Amino acid sequence: MTNKTTHFGFQEVPEEEKTFLVKNVFDSVSKRYDLMNDVMSFGLHRLWKQYAIDVAQVKSGAMVLDLASGSGDLARALVKKVGPTGMVYASDINFSMLREGIDKSLDQGIHESISYVLADAESLPFQSNLFDCVMISFGLRNITRKERALNSIYRVLKPGGKLIVLEFSHPHSSIVRKIYDRYSFDILPKLGELIADDRESYQYLAESIRKHPSQDMLKAMMEKSGFVMCKFHNLTFGIVAMHIGYKV
């Protein structure tokens, strides 16, 4: 019996190795993660995330999970939405990134409003029917078994709860694709080398985006996991897509 393989960028690796390899990537880039996000997206990631928050329409008192929270910028923004009677959980599989989020929350004095959880998205350690909203921003493509993660998210959402996935995606325009490919493979790794002293991690980033399911494929995966009224919005010519689905 052969072991299952999956992609790590353009490489094929055993499934059980991908989590370790992704962990190494984010251990390496954690200290310069936010700076690189600003540089490589020209600050657009802030607008994409704000749009996702606006669409989420999180209410005061809500229970929200920021999955693959990274340095926690989305979680900190959501705190303002849930108010003093709500709660935001920031979950990530990578301790180095979670530590960055904790430090930033402490610096901003909002740490009491966020609960940090080291957890695997494929097997979330939360009770069923807990969250009003789950958001995952630029993290789904790094998960080895995306179907398991979507099933796990569905379980922890309340009936009527909403999932929002914000992720790099696939531009439809051939002209945009050519420009995007040139930037991704020629410029982005050089920026990683210059700013984060890590060319390989940003080479992986470019490759992981190309291996991520298309907009229609991800929508179908969400529907297979039980989500209804699934749809997506392309942002910035489809370089990023925001998917939305609901638990019945």
Strands 157-168 and 240-246, how do they pair? antiparallel
pLDDT at 90: 97
Which range is least confidently modeled, 12-21, 127-136, 155-164, 215-224?
12-21
Average pLDDT, the chain: 93
Superfamily (CATH H level) for 5-173+201-246:
Vaccinia Virus protein VP39 (3.40.50.150)
Q: Where are the chain's structural domains?
A: 5-173+201-246
Residue 221 is classified by DSSP as H
Average pLDDT over residues 172-189: 95
pLDDT at 85: 93
Average pLDDT over residues 144-156: 97
pTM to 2 decimal places: 0.92
Sequence-separated contacts (24+) of 198-205 with Cβ below 8 Å: 198/28, 198/29, 201/25, 201/28, 201/29, 202/29, 202/36, 202/40, 203/9, 204/8, 204/9, 204/25
How many residues appear in the chain? Answer: 248
Query: Confidence class of residue 1 from pLDDT cuts 50, 70 and 90?
Result: very low
Q: What is the pLDDT of residues 90-144, one digit of tens each?
A: 999 999 999 999 999 999 888 678 999 999 999 999 999 999 999 999 999 999 9
Task: Name residue, tokens 């080479």.
Answer: 203
Task: Name residue, tokens 């002209």.
Answer: 175
pLDDT at 29: 87
pLDDT at 51: 96
Average pLDDT over residues 137-160: 96
pLDDT at 235: 97
**CA dist., res. 130 & res. 161, Å (int):** 9
**CA dist., res. 59 & res. 133, Å (int):** 10
Q: Residue 56: in which H helix or E strand, if any? A: helix 44-56
